[in-house]
Amino acid sequence: MIKRVLAALALAVMAMSPAPAHAQTPAEMQASLADIGTWMQEYQAVMAFANEPFMTMEPFYAALDGFADGSMSARRARRAIEQWNERAIASMDQARAGARALRAPPHLSGYGPDGAALEAVLVATRDNLGPTLDEMERVIETSVALGLGSLDDRAKGIEARERAFFNASIQLTMVDRGRIDISAAMIPSDNPNHALMIATQHYYDSVIIMPRYALETLDGGGDRQALIASLRQSARSLRAELARGRVLVEQIQIQAREMQAGPGVELGRLLLRMVATFPQSFAAYEGLAVGIDDAVVALENGADVRDVWAQQEMNDRPHLDEIDRIERVRAAMLAENQRRPL
């Protein structure tokens, strides 16, 4: 989830009309949108480097598992953890270099008050890159410290692995949740991306609660019934936002068709192409809601929370990958639209 933040702004920009005092020609608007799409791709490239360490943590976990079951010596496990840390640091260094080189986002003053609000989201997201990378590096440092510390006692290896995994998931989700919160507060509520942002918040609520519960059980606590009730509410709220988003998409389609009747015919076509990707987004989010439903059923049947969470993580992956793919497609549509004839 950490990778998908800004592509959702693409349609929000498309759905606005230029302010009368700064009216743009279709060609100028096309160039502006292309610049926005290109900037989003540049931002996505930075976040890809930042996210890489967390997509490749298997050697870290394998080292702890191997040490815990006796198949790997403390020395080998230590070296494996250190090697993962070295690769993680190198990837974060690339992310920091990209963040320093990332240009200021395009100006959206020509779109009036809504444009100013969206520009503020872009600026805030760019300005937040440094603190975001700081937080991600702290997750890496904490995980490595837990892992190396567990090598002093084989019996502590499994618990250290679990604590590292649970804490990393919570912290990374909170990093992205903070940025989603900013975007959701600034994107107009009548835009379908607003519905997807709120749906993401509800999904993140479900993502965070199970590892938090697991950590509580490691410390002798945890309210299982409250966990189940919270998951059920997350799924219900997520689906309510999807329903709202579908209605908003229908309204945007009407607007796009109206644009095709005037000088902005090509922009109307672009908007329709982008809107056409939303059913795929809704389907992917529905897949996440189904995953929450399945988790509730498993927990009600007495399954271990750790097993349920691990299964949900596996089941969610293709849906998250699809959400990421679609958002990249939308950013590419904006970036490439200038090459299309008006």
Average pLDDT (146-154) is 81
Closest CA to 316 of 140, 135, 169, 143: 169
> Under DSSP, is residue 277 helix (H, G, I), strand (E, B) or coil?
coil
Q: At which of 132, 155, 187 does a domain end?
A: 187
Residue 309 belongs to some domain of the structure: yes
Residue 342 belongs to some domain of the structure: no
Position 176 confidence tier, pLDDT thresholds 50, 70, 90: confident
Identity of the amino acid at 223: D
Instruction: Say whether pLDDT at 150 is over 90.
Output: no
Kindly report, residue by residue over 249-286, the tens digit of the pLDDT.
998 888 878 777 766 677 778 788 888 999 999 999 99
Q: What is the pLDDT of residue 111?
A: 67
Q: 144 and 215, same structural domain?
A: no
Kindly report, residue by residue over 276-305, the tens digit of the pLDDT.
999 999 999 999 999 999 999 999 999 999
Position 339 confidence tier, pLDDT thresholds 50, 70, 90: low
Q: At which of 141, 160, 187 does a domain end?
A: 187
The chain-wide mean pLDDT, for the chain, equals 83
Q: At which of 170, 187, 204 does a domain end?
A: 187
Residue 151 belongs to some domain of the structure: yes
| pTM, to two decimals | 0.75
**Exposure b/e, 170-207, CB count within 10 A at least 16 = b:** bbbbebbbebbebbbebbeeebbbbbbbbbbbbbbbbb
Instruction: Say whether pLDDT at 109 is over 80.
Output: no
Q: 132 and 32, same structural domain?
A: yes
Q: 95 and 75, same structural domain?
A: yes
Tokens of 28: 């100028």
CA end-to-end span of the chain, whole Å? 36
Region of poorest pLDDT, from 46-55, 127-136, 174-183 = 174-183
Q: 249 and 118, same structural domain?
A: no
Give residues with Cβ within 8 angstroms of 95, minimum separation 6.
46, 47, 49, 50, 133
Residue 294 belongs to some domain of the structure: yes
Q: 81 and 64, same structural domain?
A: yes
The percent of residues in the chain predicted with pLDDT above 70, rounded, is: 86
What is the longest distance spanned by two Cα atoms in the chain?
73
Residue 341 belongs to some domain of the structure: no
Q: 177 and 69, same structural domain?
A: yes
Q: What is the pLDDT of residue 186?
A: 73
Instruction: Say whether pLDDT at 9 is over 50.
Output: no
Give residues with Cβ within 8 angstroms of 44, minimum separation 6.
3, 6, 7, 328, 331
Q: 180 and 222, same structural domain?
A: no
Q: 202 and 137, same structural domain?
A: no
Tell me the C-alpha distance between 291 and 179, whole Å.
24
Task: Determine the structural domain holding residue 101 and report its residue range.
Answer: 1-11+20-187
Q: 137 and 3, same structural domain?
A: yes
- Provide the domain count of the chain: 2
Residue 285 belongs to some domain of the structure: yes
Tell me the C-alpha distance between 34 and 337, whole Å.
6
Tell me the C-alpha distance between 5 and 177, whole Å.
9
Q: 93 and 6, same structural domain?
A: yes
Residue 269 belongs to some domain of the structure: yes
Q: 132 and 86, same structural domain?
A: yes
Instruction: Say whether pLDDT at 236 is over 70.
Output: yes
Q: 199 and 181, same structural domain?
A: no
Tokens of 240: 């309510």
Average pLDDT (154-166) is 73
